Amino acid sequence: MLIAFGCALSGAGWITSAYVTSLMGLYLTYGLFCGIGTGIVYIGVIGLMVRWFPDRRGFATGMVAAGYGFGAILTTFPIDGMIRNSGYQHTLVVFGFILGIVGALAALAMRMPRTDDVLPTATAMASGKNVSTGDMVKTPVFWLMFAMMTMMSTGGLMIISQFASFSRDFGVTKVMVFGLAALPLALTVDRITNGLTRPFFGWISDKIGRENTMAVAFLMEAVAVAAMVLLRENTLLFVVLSGVVFFGWGEIFSLFPSTLTDTFGTKYATANYGVLYMAQGIGSVLGGPLAALLHDKAGSWLPVFAIIIAMDALTGILALAALKPMRKAYAAAK
């Protein structure tokens, strides 16, 4: 019921925003309704997946997160075509109804696992505890995860929010690759890799462990960002490496919820991940404005990328050096 409400609220945000005539009105309709609605849907569905698939928690949450990303690819062209033919107001109303109704009907077909449901056995990395949100926020291991997710979100959103700006400054927007404009091609590749990475690294984490996978993915992103900057004059490599960068970032949406649930259990999984996901909100507030401010002060994008690389590398190291032993000790404690 809650997910259905989130879908309906998000659809209402599209519909009501079609009739506003001010920027504040847009904030209060599309921003407020869609922000709350999609947040409810995302957190709610993740909360269901970690309960239903305890043996493949990383892969399951990765598939949901991939759907969240690939949905944008599926709707971009129909929405663009309708805007061209019928205007943005008509498009917002039509797709608001479609997304709201379809989402709500799908949500009403979902349910929580019951006590008589036979579920797979949880992996050995799951602690078996069921920790309430109030108790969870009192633990150092939670705040370490929160800090790590904040750093990864901030670094990734620095790149996402300013991608067109630094691509233009690097001269990428003036070049063709395989007969296609480099910037749209890079953005398309980035969307695909950002979606594929979520189930891929989620599946890997089910096999080799959450922290080991975090270290591989986060350090890979640090190397890819460094290479993208150093080789920025080669447009083809810039496009390819930007895809690798996003391949090393998007998996935070499968690794962190599965790690959190493994640590604190499934009973309060939805509320617990809702609190952890606030790190993404902090990243979105810091990422864009901070990157722009640093660029304006330094007159260059290089300090921005230096911070991104440092945060990626630090988070990858923390996964092995701090998070892994802390989670092990927490699981062993009574």
Distance of CA 152 to the CA centre of its chain: 10
pLDDT at position 249: 85
pLDDT at position 279: 93
- Mean pLDDT, rounded, for 89-104: 95
**Mean pLDDT across the chain:** 88
* Each residue's pLDDT tens digit, 168-177: 777 766 666 6
Q: Residue 219: which pLDDT band, with cuts at 50, 70 and 90?
A: very high
Query: Highest mean pLDDT: which of 45-59, 132-146, 170-184, 225-239?
Result: 132-146
Residues of the chain with pLDDT > 90: what percent?
Answer: 49
* Run of H or E including 141: helix 140-169
Q: Residue 4: which pLDDT band, with cuts at 50, 70 and 90?
A: very high
Q: Residue 226: which pLDDT band, with cuts at 50, 70 and 90?
A: very high
pLDDT at position 220: 92
Domain boundaries, the chain: 1-112, 123-334
How far is 208 from 202, CA to CA, in rounded Å?
A: 10
pLDDT at position 180: 62
- Mean pLDDT, rounded, for 28-33: 94
Q: Which of 144, 307, 140, 319 shows the shortest CA–CA distance to 226?
A: 307
pLDDT at position 243: 85
CA-derived radius of gyration, the chain: 21
How far is 143 from 137, CA to CA, in rounded Å?
A: 7
- Mean pLDDT, rounded, for 72-96: 88
| Stretch among 273-277, 281-285, 311-315, 330-334 having the lowest mean pLDDT | 330-334
CATH superfamily of 123-334: MFS general substrate transporter like domains (1.20.1250.20)
Centre a 10 Å sphere on the Cβ of residue 227 and count the other Cβ atoms it contains: 16
